[in-house]
Structure 1
């Protein structure tokens, strides 16, 4: 898949998330970890008389987001290359903060969510989607098993944890410490889409940081065997509409206290 592959991967999740936003025409929306801005542009179209601001730590993603917004002729959307953990947002400006899998990688999550809280108006809302635990996500389990194979478990490279907000009690503690209240969790059970066929899906999965770093740690012969097992796993998940894996996520909502 191309640069838009992440949006295609999460199409079914997007449909659920958009319903949870509940954006009103005059809302001002902050999109955290917006990537190339699909969710930000969706929010801007819903907030016709308001605005949407997308922020991300990836400068190339932000440049692409700006290009796409210009192409679509959206005048009420903006993007900033920024870290939501530390960026000085205008105080009490946003009615709603949203995120699609963009809040799991903060070095200091309490500080990050406290910063987002300051940017929300009184009673402003946070609506974010995060992954549930590793073992509840078939895509991650299957990839790990394929990479390990008969050689046994492989060392998982240290790095950002996509499942850092999977545990509801932990999340409640983090958000509560950040000054957010009325915290709720909604189970989202939708598949992820990895491409129309096995070659595209293999390219996509090999582009995952965890996959590429793991393969680099293996000797060439072991890496080739791991890729072969991965190809077989993807083939087993190929259906009429492409390669799909089961996944579980949370939609977490909260309000400024």
Structure 2
């Protein structure tokens, strides 16, 4: 993990929200919201909320009396999230580090985290913080991406970048979003943080886009991979993005494209 892996700044939040959220995040957000609704919580904390796709799904799925707090390390991501939920009085947005949560012990019935724990520099510490703020019997519900080979658009873009920058290939995808998928490791880390009753499920979905250009822009320009590409200078970001689009088109065809995505969904008490 590097500092740049967590740099969701500049135009990244807008591109992430417009392209990457519908491409890969929305079905998993609805899945988490459905699981959390079944727990009938009164207070929900979301960490690594990003641009608020889970926040919106929870707002739609939970009764109006349920209070929600959405946090993220990156204030620009929360600013984007707020644009979707203006006037939602039961939701509080707050910049916060998931490894040092600014909340009292036993404050929440559920802690949720969508595709965020892979970015924690110390996952056991982050899990321990989630446990600290949970009430007795509360649930920590989160998901992580499976290995990159099971996420086809990301894999094609990653392989394309390995070829373009063969002397110094970017490793963001395998280091961060697709770098923490071993159920044995996840279960051990949760146990070290004091959790029990750990359930891990594999959940595949299909990812769809109107053209190959959309996932290419989403992955190259709407994630911290952008910083790795720009740091290399040549070829420039636009050229690399087009190369990724060409590779996706070659693999999945012209016009609308469709590929597999796969994550793990974890629940712990």
Residues 215 and 143 (structure 1 numbering): CA distance in 2 closer, same or farther, change over 3 Å? farther
How big is the shift at 1:25? 5.3
1:15 aligns with 2:44: no
The alignment partner of 2:202 has SS state of strand
The alignment partner of 2:142 has SS state of strand
1:237–1:244: 8 Å Cα contact kept in structure 2?
A: yes
1:28–1:47: 8 Å Cα contact kept in structure 2?
A: no
Deviations 1:86-138 (CA, angstroms, capped at 9, x unpaired) = 12212111111111112211111111110110110101001111111223322
Q: Distance in 2 between matches of 1:190 and 1:104?
A: 20
How big is the shift at 1:213? 1.4
Q: Distance in 2 between matches of 1:26 and 1:112?
A: 21
How big is the shift at 1:69? 1.8
Residues 239 and 19 (structure 1 numbering): CA distance in 2 closer, same or farther, change over 3 Å? farther
The alignment partner of 1:75 has SS state of coil
The alignment partner of 1:126 has SS state of strand
Aligned to 1:38: 53
Residues 68 and 211 (structure 1 numbering): CA distance in 2 closer, same or farther, change over 3 Å? closer
Q: Distance in 2 between matches of 1:76 and 1:227?
A: 40
Q: Distance in 2 between matches of 1:185 and 1:153?
A: 38
Q: TM-score, normalised on structure 1?
A: 0.84
Aligned to 1:138: 152
Q: Distance in 2 between matches of 1:125 and 1:142?
A: 35
Q: Distance in 1 between matches of 2:49 and 2:164?
A: 39
Aligned to 1:110: 124
Aligned to 2:7: none
Q: Distance in 2 between matches of 1:243 and 1:227?
A: 16
Identify the range of structure 1 (230-239 vs 183-192) with the bigger mean alpha-carbon deviation.
230-239
Q: Matches of residues 217-232 of structure 1 in structure 2 within 5 Å?
A: 217=232, 219-220=234-235, 224=239, 227-232=241-246
2:199–2:267: 8 Å Cα contact kept in structure 1?
A: yes
Deviations 1:26-54 (CA, angstroms, capped at 9, x unpaired) = 52111111112231233234142121110
1:86 aligns with 2:100: yes
1:135–1:141: 8 Å Cα contact kept in structure 2?
A: yes
Q: Distance in 2 between matches of 1:104 and 1:150?
A: 26
2:213–2:242: 8 Å Cα contact kept in structure 1?
A: no
Q: Matches of residues 105-184 of structure 1 in structure 2 within 5 Å?
A: 105-149=119-163, 152=166, 154-157=168-171, 161-184=176-199
Q: Distance in 2 between matches of 1:111 and 1:65?
A: 26
Q: Distance in 2 between matches of 1:60 and 1:150?
A: 30
Q: TM-score, normalised on structure 2?
A: 0.81
- In structure 1, stretches of 5+ residues that fail to align are none
Deviations 1:200-241 (CA, angstroms, capped at 9, x unpaired) = 3332222132255146426339x94x555422222243576x
1:23–1:43: 8 Å Cα contact kept in structure 2?
A: no
Q: How many residues in Structure 1 have an aligned counterpart in Structure 2?
A: 250
Identify the range of structure 1 (207-216 vs 122-131) with the bigger mean alpha-carbon deviation.
207-216
1:65 aligns with 2:86: no
Q: CA RMSD in A?
A: 2.8
Q: Distance in 2 between matches of 1:249 and 1:51?
A: 27
- In structure 2, stretches of 5+ residues that fail to align are 1-13
Residues 4 and 214 (structure 1 numbering): CA distance in 2 closer, same or farther, change over 3 Å? closer
